[in-house]
Amino acid sequence: MSEIREFADLFDAILKEKNAEKYSYTLVKSEKQELNAESGEFKLMRTVFSNYTSLKLFRGTRMGNVSGTDLSEEGLRKLADDGIVAAESAEEDPCNDFGPDQGKDVFRQGVWEPDIDRFLERVKELLTTIKTDYPKINVMMAIASFDRHNWISRNTNGTEFEAFTGSYGLALEISASDGEKNTGISGTGFDFKDLDTPLIDCCNVRDTLEKTQNSLNPQTLTGKFEGPVIMTPGCAAQFLSMLAGNYMGSGVIMEGTSLWLDKVGEQVCSPMLTVSLNSFDERIIVGERGTQDGFRTEDVTLIDKGVLKAHMLSLYAAKKTGRPMLPNTSFNVVVEPGDKSLSELIASVDKGLLMGDFSGGYPGTNGEFSGVAKNSFLIENGKVGPAVMETMVNGNLGEIFKTIRGISKELLCDGGMVMPYIAFDGIVISGK
Amino acid sequence: MIQDVLGSKCALFSDGVQTILRGQENRMRRVVFLKGNLVQNVRSEERGVSARVNRNGMFGFASVAEYTPEAAEKVIRAATDNALFLGRHSTDRIVLPPSCGTGTIPLTGQINDAEQKRIIDLCRRIDDHIAEKYPDLSSRVVVYTEDSMDKIIYTSDAFNGHAVYPRAHMMIQMSTETADGTPVEMMDVLGGYGGFEDHFTEPEKLFPVIDKIYERLMDKKEGVYADAGYKTVVLGGMMGGMLAHEAVGHTVEADLVRGGSVAGPNLGKQVASELVTMVDFAHTYNGAMAPLPVYIDDEGTKAEDAMLIRDGILVGYMNDRESAAEYGMKAAGNSRGWAFSDEPLIRMRNTCILPGRNTLEELISSVDDGYYLIQSGNGQADLTGEFMFGVTCGYEIKNGKLGRALLDTTVTGVAFDMLKTVDMVSSEVQWSTSGTCGKKQAMAVSMGGPLMRCKIMIGGR
């Protein structure tokens, strides 16, 4: 029996003793080993032993949500008491609920026993390779971590899920400098489960280093034009996340402010676009297995060839609005690849941008966005040219996803999502 | 609040290494009403202890989610092991210099806990008031958030202390639709340092702010897109604070200077108009308590103000003890961690551009064709000082008078270029107290600024 089960049994006994008839909770024990390098040199080794407890407790249809870090008997008793007080303070709402009995299951994903010495050697090798191959790059921060979690989730309908998960992760924050010339910050991050491949060859590390080193002589654009924008997978994911929040999420559907409120089953995007939440995809290192509402996670298609298949509704939002709940509360996004290579997409652009990051205000519910193109390059006559600075892009989220001009065959897998490059029309690019 | 159970464990600090032992509790209370529905009713408490050990310039850090003397022993041992482990794989770094002093900073404040029912009742009252008075809204959101940090700090060679950082805020957002059915929103945030009792015991005192949000929303409903380009603008105080924090503040954090920020080669140079002076205040502004008072940081440095720009000249950075030694500056208490499990990083506190001599009326009347930008939704900046702020509330200025409201837009520029265009500064400072900065970890920050006339790039359609 795992240690976490002993805590769970104790917690059940405490909740029963306090006459809690309806509740769900998650208990987590986790461990992080994290190596931090600054300016290309090791600086700090960090070990974190964490606990996390989260309890949803009901009094009739009133619900309180409390959380903490104390797994001692005293801590669990206090959490139960706090949950009762929070629930009794709440208002009656029959939409507060969690899923029916989903049975019992144990999930194992990723790697449980890390090889920290080898991991450290891989990071050292990465830092050395960067110094050799990319001499103008300054690794401002490299955070290499191994994270391991054992969690158990139970509710009074009978569901019990337990999980053992572990993964390595790397986050790089870099800039380039040459004399007094400096670039801005760029970076990448990804999760992985083995140390077989040098880190420099993982995910988009080399691409990020090359693009950053090529950004030392940025050009300030003048004037304004509407041109195609090819977004890198990371940038496209950023826009997809905004699209989900503004058009498909529980909040905007409950508020009634989503422009896709009554669009399920309708064509809302280009037929080229298919978006799913595929937590069971083998490219996802640690995918969701149980939703936040106590259901078994399922792979779901959100947009199929441009047709909206579902809103991303929690159980509460689903009950509140009389619409179907989505049995996936992750953002394990998988976007289907297109039929053109990145070089073909670039070759088709007379004048536009290859955009690495968007730095902009979060769009309002009308979808209007406006911001700065960061880590971005001018495309002219089908070729990638100089980096750009002080370049703004604006458009409308809903509209640009209707006018996709191409999706790349190449996919970026960062361990949490799978994304291609996406080329959009209808974005206004303006310089100084 | 947490009681001191750590003091006796200072005996475990090793000679010849610098050690910090920190016990901490973070509390959060959150209640959200969305269109009259209570959608979040949350209380959380996270407590634990951490140790950071510096040995020959290598840092070892460890934390445990327990707040006991035994946990303190465990983290001191683990942090020491981590520093030794790293030392075996790397060459030595800067050895931290002697601290700027030792002593004890007494308890700096109190954290008072409001009953959840009172918070829910308050939010319900506010929501009911909005629903009754303004039934034409398409949606409304009322969010109450209380976040507090309570830290007990013991160090081997610096100050010990007990620091608390309580904050309570309410965010109110209203939505409506324009004539063509396009949704628009307006929001504002109330509250500040302290707890429920300090800000929210009399709901009717919040009603004028609610009226103002509605008034601005109705203006925005008839709003227009900004005319994109390089424009003369009057930045409101909140925008000035955002500029101070995002566009300038981050570039003068010494760890980002080390990473190649634009502040590196500009130390001692003119980076702004002579009207611009900028300070990261520790705990006191203008003779009164600053919105987020910091008396001791998480390295045990007694907090002082950090002068950053004086009369347009870049004069200093924000440092931790290591970077202060590297740049020949004095650490002023900027090293803070968000949770017990977070190592301290260089963070801002109360970052502010100081006031000038003009009035709002003088600023507005001086602009023939430009914009008055009042409120920002979010902001980001880069090492180069290139910044972006979302603008969620603003107005045209035509012939010295306010005109039509603006729909959401964005402004951008390069901080040290843009600050040189500042030619009028108002005599009043507005503070934004609800900020949470992201830099590996979250961190509570406050930012302030006067109104400023300057030139800036504004996005349109």
pLDDT computed for residue B377 by the predictor: 81
Taking contacts as CB-CB distances below 8 angstroms, the residues of chain B near A374 are 382, 386
The 10s digit of each residue's pLDDT in B314-359 is 999 999 999 999 999 999 999 999 999 999 999 999 999 999 999 9
Q: Considering the domain boundaries, does residue A218 fall inside one?
A: no
A to B CB pairs, distance under 8 Å? 243
Helix axes A205-213, A116-133, angle to 10 degrees: 30
Number of domains in chain A: 2
Contact B63 A182 (CB under 8 A): no
What is the CATH architecture assignment of B7-221?
2-Layer Sandwich (3.30)
CA distance B289 to chain A (A): 31
Contact yes or no for A48 and B343 at CB 8 A: no
Beta-carbon separation of A45 and B256 below 8 A: no
Which of A213, A247, A270 is at the close of a domain? A213
Q: Pick from B246, B258, B226, B267: which is nearest to B396 by CA?
A: B226
| Segment B33-90, tens digit of pLDDT | 999 999 999 999 999 999 999 988 899 999 999 999 999 999 999 999 999 998 888 7
State whether A288 and A318 are in the same domain: yes
**A44 and B41: CB-CB below 8 Å?**
no
The three-state secondary structure class of B191 is: strand
B450 with B359: CB under 8 angstroms? no
- Among the partner-chain residues A86, A89, A182, the one whose CB lies closest to the CB of B384 is A182
User: pLDDT at position B94, please?
Assistant: 66
Rounded percentage of chain B residues whose pLDDT exceeds 70? 98
Cβ–Cβ below 8 Å for B86 and A48: no
Neighbours of A77 (CB within 10 A): 17
Q: Largest Cα–Cα distance in chain A?
A: 73
A390–B413 C-beta distance less than 8 A: yes
Give B118-140 pLDDT, tens digit per residue.
999 999 999 999 999 999 999 99
User: Does B410 contact A120 at a Cβ distance shorter than 8 Å?
Assistant: no
Cα of B375 to nearest chain A Cα, Å: 12
A390:B34 CB<8 A: no
Residue A225's CB is within 10 A of a number of other CB atoms, namely: 11
Mention every residue, 6+ apart, whose C-beta is less than 8 A from residue A9: none
For residue A56, the domain's CATH number is: 3.30.2290.10
Q: Are A147 and A416 in contact (CB under 8 A)?
A: no
Amino acid letter for position A332? N
In this prediction, residue A2 carries a pLDDT of 64
How far, in Å, are A215, B1, B194, B195 from residue B111 at the CA level? 48, 7, 7, 7
Residues A296 and A323 in one domain: yes
Instruction: Name the pLDDT band for B92 (thresholds 50, 70, 90).
Output: low
pLDDT digits 0-9 by tens, B408-418: 988 989 999 99
Residue type, B453: R
Mutation target to probe the A interface, by most A beta carbons within 10 A, among B124, B256, B323, B384 is B384
Q: Tell me if A39 and B47 make a contact (CB, 8 A cut-off).
A: no
Domain that residue A136 falls in = 3-213
Q: Residue A247 and residue B421: Cα distance in Å, rounded?
A: 39
Position with higher pLDDT, B413 vs B144: B144
- A68, B47: Cβ pair inside 8 Å? yes
CA distances from A124 to A127, A129, A135, B305 (A): 5, 9, 16, 38
Of A35, A43, A68, the CB nearest to B45: A68
Q: What is each CA distance from A173 to A140, A205, B155, in whole angstroms?
A: 6, 11, 30
Beta bridge partners of B447: B351, B432
Q: Which residues of B touch A52 (CB under 8 A)?
A: 65
Alpha-carbon distance of A329 to A314, in angstroms, equals 8
- CA gap B186, A78 in Å, rounded: 39
Domain range annotation of chain B: 7-221, 229-458
Average pLDDT of the segment spanning B293-311: 97
Q: Which of A52, A173, A360 sits opposite B390 (nearest CB)?
A: A360
> B407 to chain A, minimum CA–CA distance in Å?
9
ipTM of the complex: 0.92
pTM over 0.90: yes
Whether B428 has a pLDDT exceeding 60, the answer reads yes
CB A120 to CB B409 under 8 A?
A: no
Q: Give dist(CA B352, CA B282) in Å, integer.
A: 11
**Residue of B383, B393, B441 for testing the chain A interface, max A β-carbons within 10 Å:** B383
From A42, A48, A371, residue closest to B388, measured CB to CB: A371
Q: How far is it, in rounded angstroms, from Cα B356 to Cα B176?
A: 37
Cβ-Cβ contacts under 8 Å, A87 against chain B:
41
Q: Are residues A47 and A182 in the same domain?
A: yes
Lowest mean pLDDT among A24-28, A43-47, B96-100, B251-255: B96-100
d(Cα A21, Cα A23) in Å, to the nearest integer? 7
Q: Is residue A143 part of a domain?
A: yes
Do A164 and A229 lie in one domain? The reply is no
The token duo for A159 is 């569901």
Nearest CA-CA partner of B253 in B304, B325, B316: B316
Residue range A128-162, pLDDT digits in tens: 999 999 999 999 999 999 999 999 999 999 999 99
Cβ distance of A90 and B457 shorter than 8 Å? no
The verdict on residue A402 lying in a domain is: yes
The reply to whether A92 falls in a domain is yes
CA distance A416 to chain B (A): 19
Query: Is the Cβ pair B260, A182 closer than 8 Å?
Result: yes
Residues 6 or more apart whose Cβ sits within 8 Å of residue B287: none
The residues pairing with A395 across neighbouring beta strands, listed in sequence order, are A369
| Interchain CB distance below 8 Å, A394 and B410 | yes
Q: Among A171, A188, A213, which residue terminates a domain?
A: A213
Q: Which residues contact B206 (CB under 8 A, 6 or more apart)?
A: B126, B170, B190, B200
Report the Cα A23 to chain-centroid distance in Å.
28
d(CA B47, CA B152): 12
Which of B138, B384, B457 minimises the CB distance to A257? B138
The minimum CA-CA distance between A44 and chain B, rounded to whole Å, is: 4
Answer whether B341 sits within 8 Å of A50, measured CB to CB.
yes
Q: CB count, 10 Å around CB of A171?
A: 17
Both A418 and A297 in one domain: the answer is yes
Q: Give the gap in angstroms from C-alpha B337 to the nearest C-alpha of chain A.
A: 13
- B452 and B216 Cβ atoms separated by less than 8 Å: no
Of the residues A45, A72, A76, A177, the best mutation for testing chain B's interface (the one with the most B CB atoms within 10 Å of its CB) is A45
How confident is the model at residue B439, as a pLDDT? Answer: 87
Of A188, A213, A238, the residue at which a domain comes to its end is A213
Q: Å from A341 to nearest chain B CA?
A: 31
Give B261→chain A minimum CA distance, Å: 7
- Distance from C-alpha of B373 to C-alpha of B361, rounded to nearest angstrom: 14
Contact across the interface for B43 and A63, Cβ inside 8 Å = no
Q: Which residue numbers in chain A have pLDDT < 70?
A: 1-2
Q: Strand A160-178 and strand A137-155: pairing?
A: antiparallel
pLDDT band at B461 (very low <50, low <70, confident <90, very high): low
CB pair distance less than 8 Å for B120 and A38: no
A51/B65 Cβ within 8 A: yes
Cβ atoms B142, B187 nearer than 8 A: no
In the block, tokens 């506190």 appear at: B349
A203 plus A294 within the same structural domain: no
d(CA B386, CA A186): 13
- Other Cβ atoms within 10 Å of B417 Cβ, number: 15
Q: What is the pLDDT of residue B378?
A: 81
Number of neighbours of residue A322 by Cβ within 10 angstroms: 6
Q: Are A351 and A227 in contact (CB under 8 A)?
A: yes
How far does B121 lie from chain A, in Å, by closest CA?
9
CA distance A357 to A234: 7
Residues of B within 8 A of A184 (CB-CB) are 382-384, 386
Report the candidate in A24, A21, A27 with the shortest Cα–Cα distance to residue A7.
Answer: A27
Amino acid identity of residue B349, one-letter, is R
